[in-house]
Amino acid sequence: MRAVVFVSVVLAGCFAHEGSALAQEPTVQVASRNQKIRAILLKPERPVASVILLVGGHGQMDIAPNGAIKWGRNNQLVRTRTAYHAQGFAVLVPDIAPDWKGGKNPVRGYRWHPGHGADIGALVAYMRTIAEPVVLVGTSRAAVSTGVALLVTEGKNRPDFVVLTAPMLMPSGNQPSFQKAIQGNVQKAQIGMLVIGHKKDQCAFTLPESIAAFEQWRGGDKLDVVLLDGPQGSGHPCEAQAAHGFAGIDNRVVQTVSDWITRQKHCPISRTIAASHLRKVAACLVPEGSLEAGCLLTDS
């Protein structure tokens, strides 16, 4: 299905800090089903690839036509959107479709609904018209959205690669997960994928050990894993200012993701990377948390 885009009025060339009341960012509206999904679009002159940044939490950002964000400004991916743009990526930060929205909270269960997966597919198809490859990047609860998207999308609507940070991968109590959203379909999960965890993440649903369980279920082919380390952060262990949200190491997350995407354009790999120490890499050493383009991992 062809993605239809509607461009909103913007203040070109003026990007204030996101916390400023004067902040203006370009937005577009992408058609999916009978809905129009509003998203912030940051587009460099010559983008090297496209990234779609999916917010965690309940996901209802309520993005205004001028790009103002009502909820989710401090989410790790959202707060680093301009850093991805600076790396040369076309960046899309989407809200959810209007029919998933409630008053303060969205419709319960939308994250694993096939219609939501189709919405993400429409966003992928739209970004494909701007720059390829198209990479779906989701954090925390957005892993659930990623799971249903991989379950229902095909062809131009399916992302080329996936990056998940501090993700809800495996079932934990009554919480949703990537595995549940993809309905346990291991084959649908076979896509070039990077999973980034935090060694100090104390959120019960995204503990570092859940990544190992995920790899055992999914298999390690086309899967790369990076465990970063940094401050414990503050606040609730599942919130953006804690280790779960990579507090204090945003630049390392952005660089790790950017390097990995660049690598996929030239030399895709399928190894698990322990970022706690140096690993031997063909003719080069990659420092902790880094994935330098052009280097192929060797067995160590």
For the chain, give the mean pLDDT.
85
**Within a domain: 297:** no
Averaged over 77-85, what is the pLDDT? 98
**Within a domain: 293:** no
**Within a domain: 292:** no
| Whole-angstrom distance, CA of residue 261 vs CA of residue 194 | 9
**Within a domain: 299:** no
Print the domain residue range for 237. Answer: 5-286
> Can you give the pLDDT at residue 300?
26
Averaged over 85-98, what is the pLDDT? 98
Residue 99 or residue 284, greater confidence: 99
> Can you give the pLDDT at residue 104?
82
**Within a domain: 291:** no
The CATH number that applies at residue 277 is: 3.40.50.1820
Residues 242-272: pLDDT tens digits? 999 999 999 999 999 999 999 998 765 443 3
**Within a domain: 138:** yes
Q: Which residues pair with 120 in a beta bridge?
A: none
**Within a domain: 295:** no
Residues 6-41: pLDDT tens digits? 434 332 333 333 333 335 899 999 999 999 999 999
Task: Say what the pTM is.
Answer: 0.84
Alpha carbon separation from 176 to 62, 85, 140, 169, 297 (Å, rounded)? 23, 31, 11, 9, 33
Split into its structural domains, the chain has a count of 1
**Within a domain: 74:** yes
